[in-house]
Structure 1
Amino acid sequence: MVQIGSWQKSIEIQLTPMRISESAPVAGLDLADAENITNATLDTPVGSNLVLHPGEPNEMILQVKNLLQQSIRLSWRIEGDFPIEWCQLGTEGNELVPGAQMDAVLYFHVPASFFEDQEALRVGKKEKLELNYRSRVIVKVDPGTEYEQIEEADFGLYIRPYSAYMEFLPQMYHEVDFIGRFLKIFEQTYQPIVDSFNTMWANLDPLTAPKALLPFLAHWVGWSVEASWEMPQQRRLIRRAVELYRWRGTRNGLRLYLHLYTGLPLDEDLPESDKRIGIIEAFGPGFVLGAADLGERAVLGGGKPYHFSVRLRPIHPNSLDEELVRRIIDQEKPAFCTYDLSIENPG
């Protein structure tokens, strides 16, 4: 801390990182940056250092306490050899009453592409990516007056890649900065393979698989992919192809196929006449001696044998392709059956 003038010290400041690193960034086997370790960096208290992982925000709390018996006004400034856009300062105001304490927050955020951005290599510094930065926060008391005093606090900023592999090592290795940076090399090499293996199930599910894999999955279950089908419909049909094979030739199988194509609900709890996809069998036993009475129940001839009616009630008008619907019915019905199709468009 620096004080200008011979009068009483007016404020006391303290820096506290919100996330303290387990290792001292310039300690241990950190040989790569040995040339950059200056006396000023070594003199910086370890507790005032802030380790930043690209893409992850971090904060430093600046506590200011008024040591005088009168109110004071404050102004703030951040200096350092790091890009200034990495830091934002949040304060509760600039007035501090006697004996009170105020907390200011230094918000730091390093771009996620820090290690991949070639512009970060500075010409004139051996074209080496800087990882260690020196910073200083300057607090002025009653700026612009004859009673102006200045308090300063130095701290270090250290850019380090986050390594999940450190969690597999004993705690004693967490205290060596070089170990984490060394393991990051292997993590970046092998982790994409591990991630691909962990998400392999998504490549085998037609609902989540990449579009390029759909023909392979369709061939796997013996399903014929047609260009006239929309992509969501193709995914649903491929996923339930085996179930459609199992129910082929039945009412449930035809209703399921039409449900996957049209997106209309199955309405399993509703009567057949109220369903959005209605399939009604029109044939009956006809007039049987001893079993039928003359009247409403008597039907001479029994109607068309093995005939059924399909009634679709789409939500949006003209949203169904009648020719495609007929192809679906012809494919799913028994060969000896006949049918009627009715599409009741709303309005």
Structure 2
Amino acid sequence: MTLARSSPLSLEVIPMRLPDADPELLHHDPLAPEGIPLMLIPGEPSQLMVKLGNPGEHLLNVTLEFRGNLPQAWYSCERENSEISPGISQDIIIEFQAPDDFFEAFLALRENSSLRINYSGRLQVYGARPGTVSQLIDVADINFYVRPQSRYLDFLPQIYREVDFVGRFLKIIEETFNPDVQMMASLFAYLDPLTAPQSMLPFLAHWVGWELQSYLSLEQQRSLIRHALEIYRWRGTRRGLRLYLHLVTGLPLDDEVEREEDKHIAILETFSQGLVLDHSILGQDALLGGGQPFHFRVHLQPDTPGSVDEALVRQVIDQQKPAFCTYELQID
């Protein structure tokens, strides 16, 4: 909806947010002037676009002035004074914003009182040629309607938007159920050990049959619970042991490293071919004094010496290795 008046300065006011309901049914004051409707949603800016044009032959100094019964803090204008050359038009944005807690503030909840949700105001345009006195050129009456925005209206036929009461009533129901809706929207975070509240960890650990270990940090326990099924699946294997050690020590897995000896978590198994004729490397493809079956060596190479707890590492290896296996542990 626009408003244009016949004057030396062309004025057009365009509301950027119109109310859903019929404006004639919104204003309950029969004496209020008919004006441009603008809907205000608490916490969100609503704008008026003011188009000013100078059809004359002289430069005009234009001043915008707004007066109304809504709080002055709700009003802001990018520029109230401007110069318009002949034959030139300018667009000026006026912004109105009701506070975010408009319907929940203390004054709004006072007993035996009603909350004002309809306001009115007048935009006055003053103009003058250089060297002359500024005079009132044109005015535009504006009616403001502060309304909550209910998403429930999107699920109803369009006819329900014609009555303002329906949207306000549905907003009460929407706010009542909002805590439950927010909880459902974030329910996935309660079931992920990495994001769940600490009080949920015992439940999640029991869910996957994992025993909480109090000597580990909270972040370590979260990671272990999340990877519990993978640890179970690969228990007793090199892959499972490396994953477990990675989670409790923080050392990288180094999947992209080809040589086992170069990895931060190196798990080495020595196989002997017995008598080898030709060249061989002691400790890799030849053993002095015979082979040692079911034996492996764990070599940890942290970037910071002394950052790995040896007792914790041995406890993990004892839990994950096959019962008949023996091992050696080396920590650099």
**TM-score category of the 2 structures, normalised to the smaller one:** 0.7 to 0.9
Structure 1 portions without partners, runs of 5+:
none
Q: Deviations over 1:101-149 (max 9, x none)?
A: 11111122323222222145689xx632221111222222139965422
Q: Deviations over 1:24-66 (max 9, x none)?
A: 3561xx6xx84xx2522xx323xx2111212222211111122
Q: Would the aligned equivalents of 1:25 and 1:177 in 2 still touch at CA under 8 Å? A: no
CA 300–319 in structure 1, closer or farther in 2 if over 3 Å, else same: closer
Instruction: Within 5 Å, give how 1:97-108 maps onto structure 2.
Output: 97-108=85-96
* 2:231 pairs with 1:233: no
Q: CA deviation at 1:164?
A: 0.6
Residue 120 of structure 2 is matched in structure 1 by 134
Amino acid at match of 1:169: L
Q: Deviations over 1:270-326 (max 9, x none)?
A: 2212222211113x24626xxx43753543433443222222233445443332222
Residue 15 of structure 2 is matched in structure 1 by 17
Distance in 2, matches of 1:39 and 1:58, equals 25
Q: CA deviation at 1:179?
A: 1.2
Distance in 2, matches of 1:120 and 1:197, equals 30
Distance in 1, matches of 2:89 and 2:115, equals 39
Amino acid at match of 1:184: K
Output the TM-score relative to the length of structure 1: 0.82
CA 122–82 in structure 1, closer or farther in 2 if over 3 Å, else same: farther
Distance in 2, matches of 1:311 and 1:26, equals 82
* 2:291 pairs with 1:293: no
Residue 52 of structure 1 is matched in structure 2 by 40
Q: CA deviation at 1:256?
A: 0.9
Work out which of the residue numbers 241, 264, 271 in structure 2 matches 1:254.
Answer: 241
Distance in 2, matches of 1:84 and 1:319, equals 62
Residue 56 of structure 2 is matched in structure 1 by 68
Q: CA deviation at 1:161?
A: 0.9
Q: CA deviation at 1:86?
A: 2.1
Amino acid at match of 1:141: G
Work out which of the residue numbers 145, 152, 158 in structure 2 matches 1:158.
Answer: 145
Amino acid at match of 1:104: I
CA 178–334 in structure 1, closer or farther in 2 if over 3 Å, else same: same
Q: Deviations over 1:170-209 (max 9, x none)?
A: 1122222111111112212234323433432221121222
Q: Would the aligned equivalents of 1:63 and 1:103 in 2 still touch at CA under 8 Å? A: yes
Distance in 2, matches of 1:326 and 1:143, equals 91
Instruction: Within 5 Å, give how 1:1-347 maps onto structure 2.
Output: 9-24=7-22, 27=25, 34=28, 37-40=29-32, 43-45=33-35, 48-91=36-79, 94-120=82-108, 127-142=113-128, 146-150=132-136, 151-271=138-258, 272-282=260-270, 284-285=271-272, 287=274, 292-293=276-277, 296=280, 297-344=285-332
Output the TM-score relative to the length of structure 2: 0.86
Distance in 1, matches of 2:108 and 2:130, equals 37
Amino acid at match of 2:34: T
Q: CA deviation at 1:241?
A: 0.7
Q: CA deviation at 1:15?
A: 1.5
Distance in 2, matches of 1:44 and 1:269, equals 74
Amino acid at match of 1:85: A
Distance in 1, matches of 2:274 and 2:244, equals 35
Distance in 2, matches of 1:65 and 1:121, equals 45
Distance in 2, matches of 1:260 and 1:335, equals 22
Identity among equivalent pairs (%)? 44
Distance in 2, matches of 1:78 and 1:315, equals 68
Distance in 1, matches of 2:307 and 2:31, equals 75
Q: Which region of structure 1 is more displaced relative to structure 2, 75-84 or 314-323?
A: 314-323
Q: CA deviation at 1:244?
A: 0.8
Q: Would the aligned equivalents of 2:19 and 2:145 in 1 still touch at CA under 8 Å? A: no
CA 323–137 in structure 1, closer or farther in 2 if over 3 Å, else same: farther
CA 319–298 in structure 1, closer or farther in 2 if over 3 Å, else same: closer
Distance in 2, matches of 1:132 and 1:75, equals 26
Q: Would the aligned equivalents of 1:91 and 1:103 in 2 still touch at CA under 8 Å? A: no
Amino acid at match of 1:139: V
Q: State how many pairs are aligned.
A: 323
Distance in 1, matches of 2:241 and 2:224, equals 13
CA RMSD of aligned residues (A): 2.8
